[in-house]
Structure 1
Amino acid sequence: MTTSTHQPILQVRSLAKAFGGNKVLQDVSFDVQPGEIVGLLGPNGSGKSTLLNTITGFEAIDAGQVLLQGKSIGALPAHRIVSDEGVGRTFQLPSMPTKMSVIEVAMAAATKQHGFWGTLLNSRAARDAEAAARAKATALLDELLLTKVRDLPASALSGGQKKLLGIVCALMGEPRLLMLDEPTAGVHPNLRNDIVSALKRLNEQGMTLVVVEHDMHFIRELCTRCVVLDRGHIVASCAPAELAQNERVLQAYLGGGNKHKEAA
């Protein structure tokens, strides 16, 4: 998708986060434009997941700002960032309930429900909301290639299928920005290709994506730009094809040296 020259959908400004004396993020600043697919890279311990957690409200920020289309969201709790501001996210190791089917899990992720009393009283509005959630979940399960397993227990899915279901759940909230934490880690290569295709389709439909990932082949296939973290600092922001020529990236993320250039 062509990137926009209008206001960034996401602005991170001088973000800092520490756990005790460990400064995990230091003066982190970057923008994401509408329609971009940005890969967030870095070695283990560089602060990638903490950055996702602070942007999405799962960790409080110590300093700096997070703005969504110009509105500050840095002080909001996670549920408000998801339901009110439209930022969806997935997790590295999605945990699924054992007593709910795949479609039930997807429906439960809908953030726009009629409310407790409407459900309790079985009101017309509640029934309409449930029908709408079921229709939306059905369409998303089809889009993410999970129709054949929609009635299975969610906990019975493979690791890759659980990651696809995590994406479905994030999309049930109708986000304008989707943040994915290692969506292909531990996933079978065939299913990995399905995830790439599904994310490309979402982007073509207008979704902006930020993806934490270690798989450089996946990054080359999917991302339009990469932001690279090292020890809590951003050391590069460039196209995937430029990673192999960036010495700071080679030293920080790939370990440096010519022998790594082919991997990037």
Structure 2
Amino acid sequence: MTSLLELDGIAIRYGGNTVLSGLTLSIDSGEIVGLLGPNGSGKSTVLNAVTGFTPLASGSIRFDGRRIDPLAPHRIAQRGIRRTFQLPSMPTRMSVLELTMTASSEHHQLCAALLRGRATRRIEHATHARASALLEQLKLTAVAHLPAASISGGQKKLLSIACAMMTEPKLLLLDEPTAGVHPNLRGELIDELRRIHGLGVTLVVIEHDMHFIRELCERCVVLDRGAAIANCKPAELDKNRRVLDAYLGRAHRTARPLEAP
């Protein structure tokens, strides 16, 4: 595999508080990597840094061989990186289908065509068909015409994935995709993410559901206090003393199965 994403000694500080401290991390093309750690360990900050929402104090980030940390978020997205958020905010005046269509690359072509006065029916039809297919795959067809802000929290998570996939990303970053999703749908979500991975998309997943991580991910990187303390297969987490210390505290005496705090 070739390295798709490279974080080289990145540090992020908020005032006097160091959130990430010289973090170095490499994600190969085609991997599914779980990004784990206790609350406050810096997981979401990593995603914010990669997508340009949080500037670096030091270090660099390269994607597909090119440095991206100086770029604005929309420029980074154009390179092929998409993300979902832990608490997605949805518009009140757009339907689920309309929002999904708006997220597409074709939508930007449609806007440009409208401005130039060109025919748009072909572009609109293709965008509608692709959005409808994604919503069907993510079990959102029944709510396609409802306001995006009115659907459940779990459905908003799935809608975020649909919007991200409308742009055919190379790298998809997911921030707690199972939070708010009904337990019965988590198996289907794993299947869908595997399908997306099968399309050639590299996945990085922040998640507290360890069963979900074990089922989906090939490798795990564990953060604690802004630094990487483990880089291993999911099956090796329970035997890693530094991971157990981070999650359970150094007062623990026996290693027990690692679960979310």
- 2:84 is matched with 90
In structure 1, the partner of 2:118 is 123
Query: Is 1:46–2:41 an aligned residue pair?
Result: yes
Residue of structure 2 equivalent to 1:18 = 13
Greater mean alpha carbon deviation, residues 32-41 or residues 115-124: 115-124
Q: 130, 144, 153: which is aligned to 2:147?
A: 153
What are the ranges of 5 or more consecutive residues in structure 2 without an aligned counterpart?
none
Structure 2 CA distance for aligned equivalents of residues 127 and 181 of structure 1: 35
Identify the range of structure 1 (145-154 vs 64-73) with the bigger mean alpha-carbon deviation. Answer: 145-154
Percent of aligned positions that are identical = 53
Could you say which residue in structure 2 is the equivalent of 1:139?
133
Quote the residue 1:102 is aligned against: 96
Answering whether residue 258 of structure 2 is matched by residue 263 of structure 1, we say yes
Q: Is the 8 A contact 2:92 2:148 kept in 1?
A: yes
Separation of aligned partners in 2, 1:173 and 1:117: 17
- In 2: Cα distance, 1:94 partner to 1:13 partner: 29
Distance in 2 (alpha carbons) for counterparts of 1:169 and 1:116: 17
> Which residue does 1:67 correspond to in 2?
62
1:210-234 deviation per Cα after TM superposition (whole angstroms, max 9, x unaligned): 0011111111111100000000000
**Alignment check: 8 A CA contact 1:12 1:67 kept:** yes
Structure 1 window deviating more from structure 2 (200-209 vs 215-224): it is 200-209
TM-fit CA distance, 1:114: 2.1
Unpaired runs of 5+ in structure 1? none
> Does the 8 A contact of 1:254 with 1:260 survive in 2?
no
TM-score by length of 2: 0.93
1:234-245 equivalences in 2 (<5 Å): 234-245=228-239
How far apart are residue 238 of structure 1 and its match?
0.3
How many Å separate the matches in 2 of 1:139 and 1:32? 29
Are the aligned partners of 1:154 and 1:162 in contact in 2 as well (CA < 8 Å)? yes
CA drift at 1:145: 1.8
Q: Can you list the C-alpha shifts for 1:165-216, whole angstroms capped at 9, x where unaligned?
A: 0001111111000000010112210122221111111112221100011111
1:129 Cα deviation from its structure 2 partner: 2.5
Whether the 8 Å CA contact 1:18–1:24 is kept in 2: the answer is yes
* Cα distance change, pair 217–65 in 1 and its aligned pair in 2 (3 A): same
Deviation at 1:260, TM superposition (A): 5.8
3-state DSSP class of the match of 1:45?
coil
C-alpha displacement at 1:127, in angstroms?
A: 3.3
Whether the 8 Å contact between 1:89 and 1:180 is mirrored in structure 2 is yes
Is 2:32 the counterpart of 1:37? yes
TM-score where L is the length of structure 1: 0.92
SS at match of 2:3: coil
1:206 aligns with 2:200: yes
1:34/1:117 CA distance change after superposition, 3 Å:
closer
Give the letter aligned to residue 223 of structure 1: C
